[in-house]
Amino acid sequence: MGEEGARILEREVRELVRRRGLDPIGDRAGLSSLVTDAVGDYATRASVGVVPPLADPEAAAQAVTDAVGGFGPLQAYLDDPEVEEVWLNSPS
């Protein structure tokens, strides 16, 4: 998905959350709307070469939503009704 682009997008979304005083966990609809707007703005800037392009904007949006309003890469497992437990073998 373009790791550098996803990191830039996540930083921008985190800054927008802070500026707007949005509760990313309590206001999932607000977070979703903010991420959608941020991805659109990012795509516009990427089209003129200001920032690196996102290979998969939808995947980037989901990753940013999970990182800002959830548990990052673990969120997909927590949302999956077929997953009963998650084991972590190490902090890394």
Scanning the structure block, which residue is given the tokens 């890469």? 73
* CA 26 to chain CA centroid, nearest Å: 16
The whole-number pLDDT of residue 2 equals: 63
Q: What is the pLDDT of residues 29-60, one digit of tens each?
A: 999 999 999 999 999 999 999 999 999 999 99
pLDDT-derived band of residue 90, with 50, 70 and 90 as boundaries?
confident
Task: Quote the tokens at residue 38.
Answer: 């941020």
Q: What is the pLDDT of residues 16-32, one digit of tens each?
A: 999 999 999 999 999 99
What's the chain's Rg over C-alpha atoms? 14
pTM, 2 dp: 0.86
Domain limits, the chain? 3-79
Q: What is the Cα–Cα distance from 80 to 20, expressed in whole angstroms?
A: 30
